[in-house]
Every structure is written in C-alpha cells, then in structure tokens.
Amino acid sequence: MKHYDMREDQLKLILGSLLGDGSMRYTSEGNATFRVGHSEQQRKYCEWKQEMLAPFAYALGKTGNGVGFDTIPMHQLSWLREAVYTPSGSRTVSEEVLAQLDVRAIAAWYMDDGTFEGNYKRWGHGKATICAAALGTLDRERLATRCEELGLGRPTLSGSNLLFSGERTRQFHEAIAPFIHPSLDYKLHPDFRGRFEWYPDTSDAHLNGTRLASRTSLRAVPMKVLRKVAKDSGSRPGTRYDLQIEGNHTYLVDHVVVHNSPE
C-alpha cells in the first residue's frame, strides 16, 4: 500500500478544514480524498491551502461558483472519513479527531467559519464567533472544552455558534494570529494583524516533478479476507504453481516469496 510522507502542518490544516468548508470522500476501498472549495473572493486563501498540501494536492480548479481542489487518494486519510461523519452522513467530531486538534487546526476552522464583529474601538476586544451549525450540541461543547485545553479561552455556546467575547477574544486572537492568512486577517483584532507565519514546507521544492515520488513509499497493511477455501487434510497436492512478476525481482515459489536482487 502506498504511504505518503505528510507533514504535521498538512494534517492539522486538513483537520481544521474538515470542521469548516472541507469534506472527505471515499474514492476506492481503503482510500479517501480531501476536498475543499471557496468563493472566488477567497481565491488567494484557497491557493494557499493548495500550496500547503502540495505535492499531494491537485491543481486549483473551478468548483460551482468558486474555486477548489482535491488531494490525491490516500489510504492514511481513510480513517478521517468515519471520524467526521456519522453513518447517516451528518458531521461529528470523534474523540480521535478531538485529541489531534491544536491551535493550527482551530485557526484553520476559524478562517473558514469564523467572524469578527463588535465595536472593538469602543468596547475593547470585539466578538469572535465560529459557526458550528453542522455539529450537534454535544460536539460543540466538546470543542469548547478543547479550545479551553489549548489555552484559547472557553467560548460560550450561543445558538449554533462558539462565541469568544471580551478578554477571551484577545486571548483567542493572540494565539491564532500566526496562522491566519493575510487575506483573512480582517477576522483578527487590528492589534494582532500582520503576524502570519504559517507557510508551506518547500524544503523539497527543488525536486520539481519528482517531489511526490520522493515522499511516497510502500508499507505492508492488513488485507481483507474475501473468502476461505477448504483444503483436504491429506497429502499436499502434486501440482504447484510459481508466479513471477514482470519487471520485479520478487516472485513466488511453492508459496514462498523469493527476492532475487541483482545487487
């Protein structure tokens, strides 16, 4: 099975986006792809996401009235499909996802679904709100607790939203400011704008067209048993079959895997 060397920043961006405008879908048995789309007005933001997820992201393209992209299908993302969707198809947040959320992931969620309002010039810090309409009350409460655990302050549940107000807004904005893309820094209090430092990892950009191949490896994974065939308990059958794969030095001889390396 192919395994991709995905950086931690990339996983956190996906996790946060799945709370917001992103989605997961199965493309084949055991493989899933991440998809995200934004309005044309948020093209720069979407371009940044695509660059962050390179070389695992396809090119940006038109999606409905906006722009978006998919990642390549990955086995290692398949767990996320079940972790963020219930059997009926509604959104949820599993304990596994919740435990992996950090400040970066919450910042990504805020960029997708957050708003900043209030007369902060008069009242101080304004109000920061994250829409969580797709989630149930229990999930909202658990996310509020997770925000508190991360040192972001505990938001108030206000209808279908998570609300930060007063000093909690300052605490929240100060923590997420380094991860808020410049095209969306209007969602931050002016005191915390211009602090962005969440950039794509370009350490292997010099590899150009071989970048994806350099971050792809093969790993052994458990396989599903499709059927079992009963075998006589007597002597071994007289007929044996050998299997050789063209272009590969590994082959089977009487149920034994042999690697005939030329080196």
CATH architecture classification, 2-192? Roll (3.10)
Q: Which residue has the higher pLDDT, 253 or 186?
A: 186
Q: How far is CA 52 from the centre of its chain?
A: 11
Question: Which residue, among 78, 31, 70, has the nearest Cα to 54 in the 3D structure?
Answer: 70
Distance CA 172, CA 89 (A): 31
pLDDT at residue 262 is higher than 60: no
Q: What is the C-alpha separation between 210 and 54, in angstroms, rounded?
A: 12
Model confidence over 52-92: pLDDT tens digits? 999 999 999 998 889 999 999 999 999 999 899 999 989 99
pLDDT at 44: 98
pLDDT digits (tens, 9 = 90+) for 172-199: 999 999 999 999 999 999 999 999 999 9
- N-term to C-term CA, the chain: 24
Cα 190 from chain centroid (whole Å):
29
Whole-number Å distance between alpha carbons of 116 and 129: 6
Alpha helices in the chain (DSSP H): 8-19, 43-52, 78-84, 95-100, 103-113, 120-123, 137-149, 167-176, 211-214
For residue 102, the model assigns a pLDDT of: 98
Please give the structure tokens belonging to residue 87: 């059997």
Q: 32 pLDDT band (50/70/90 cuts)?
A: very high
Decide: pTM greater than 0.75.
yes
